[in-house]
Amino acid sequence: MTDAANALVLFSNFVLIPGLTYGSQLALGALGVTLIFGILRFANFAHGDLMALGTMFVILVTWWFQDLGISINPLPTALLALPFGIIAAVIVSILIDKSVYKFYRKRKSPPVVFLIASIGVMFILNGLVRFIIGPNDQKFDDGARFLLKFQDFKILTGLKEGLAIKLSQGLTVIVAIVVVTALFLFLQKSRAGKAMRAYSDNVDLALLSGIEPEKVVFYAWLIAGTLAVIAGSLYGLDKSFKPFTYFSLLLPIFASAILGGIGHPLGAIIGAYTVAFSEVTITYAYKKFLKYILPEKWEPDHLVQLLSTDYKFAVSFIILVVVLLIRPTGIFKGRVI
């Protein structure tokens, strides 16, 4: 019995909790991508760097607050700085829309033109972030580090394996639940949300019924920018902030959005958790886990690891390729890119 409990704790510590956290961070990112796709009909490659830009603003404000001695211990100061980062990122998104995407919208350019333009925007944001805060790791987490320390857990339960839950992990999951619930309420209940859904479903019909397109676009950027900053800041708090890692997050984010069915918010969330858990479960070495649950003579000698951790990103790639080949609409019948 204790063996089973140990196995469960081990699995939670190394697979369940990290996967859940990572999945929540991806979900917030994928929701932004999917919303922009639903409304503006293009894959926004600049989303990863928008996350980096927003997080950078959060970091700068956090540092300023730390200097002033403002804190909400034991919670990280970054939570307090989050609204400022969101405002800045939304302003930047809307400025970019006005100066870049609006031009192509007026010309009714095909989606591929938008996509290429978004790659240009990506490079600009990329450079901007490196120019302002530099390419290196930045530390901005403060407050308590753990909700549950693994030694405390061991003492509490008397088990051989420990379970650690970082404050940032708990925070990520809670914030993700709150944000996603708020988003769905907004889309289902509010006038603006309904307008967005109508616009996403059928542009012509929406325009005929008097929905203002620029307003819908504004809301789309408002939400996408907000989600990007929240996702980026949670990722930075939990792991680390480095501009390049946000760029490389783009791949799992797109894999999530496409797997769930791009343009479909619920799909993005399911897709995100699927991608996250695939990455973690496929690269986890099950040796110790199996030792607990298997009879002694079946114990494995080798690591029982399907793929080396070097190939973590390959998992997203494989998912992306398989989905596009077999079911291009994704789980929830999103649009075909």
Partner 1 sequence: MMKLTFKTFAAATLAVFCIAGAPALKADGHAVKIGVILGFTGPIESLTPDMAASAELAMKEVSDSGALLGGKKLTPVRADSTCIDAAAATAAAERLVSADSVNAIFGADCSGVTTAIANNVAVPNGVVMISPSATSPALTSIEDKGYFFRTAPSDARQGEVLAKVLKSRGISNVAVTYTNNDYGKGLASSFSSAFEGKIEISAAHEDGKGDYSAEVAALAATGSEHLVVFGYLDQGGKGIIQASLDTGAFSNFILADGMIGESLIEAIGDGLNGTIGTLPGSESEGAQMFLAHAKANGVNGDGPFRGESYDAAALIALAMQASGSTDRAAIQSKIMDVANAPGEIILPGQLAKALNILADGGAVNYEGATNVEFTDVGEAFGSYKELEVKNGKFTTVKVH
Residues that bind partner 1 (CB under 8 A): 13-15, 18, 22, 137, 139, 145-146, 149-151, 162, 164, 166, 235, 238-242, 244-245, 279-280, 283-289, 291, 303-305, 308-310, 312
Q: Which of 169, 330, 174 lies closest to 256 in space, CA to CA? A: 330
End-to-end C-alpha distance for the chain, whole angstroms? 50
Give 11 or 42: the residue with its C-beta nearer to partner 1: 11
CB atoms inside a 10 Å sphere around CB 233 = 32
Give 114 or 140: the residue with its C-beta nearer to partner 1: 140
Query: What does the alpha-carbon distance between residue 170 and residue 137 come to, in Å, rounded to a whole number?
Result: 23
Give 27 or 40: the residue with its C-beta nearer to partner 1: 27
In whole angstroms, the minimum distance from the beta carbon of 270 to partner 1 comes to 21
In whole angstroms, the minimum distance from the beta carbon of 24 to partner 1 comes to 14
Give 218 or 244: the residue with its C-beta nearer to partner 1: 244
Look up residue 72 and give its DSSP letter: B
CB contact set of 321 (below 8 Å; sequence gap of 6+): none
What value, to the nearest 5°, has the Cα angle with vertex 202 and ends 200 and 208? 115
Give 22 or 221: the residue with its C-beta nearer to partner 1: 22
In whole angstroms, the minimum distance from the beta carbon of 284 to partner 1 comes to 5
In whole angstroms, the minimum distance from the beta carbon of 81 to partner 1 comes to 19
Query: What does the alpha-carbon distance between residue 16 and residue 36 come to, in Å, rounded to a whole number?
Result: 30
In whole angstroms, the minimum distance from the beta carbon of 114 to partner 1 comes to 28
Query: What does the alpha-carbon distance between residue 102 and residue 100 come to, in Å, rounded to a whole number?
Result: 6
Residue pointed to by tokens 């944000």: 179
Give 162 or 260: the residue with its C-beta nearer to partner 1: 162
In whole angstroms, the minimum distance from the beta carbon of 305 to partner 1 comes to 6
Task: State the burial class of residue 139 (Cβ atoms within 10 Å of its Cβ: 0-12, 13-18, 19+).
Answer: exposed
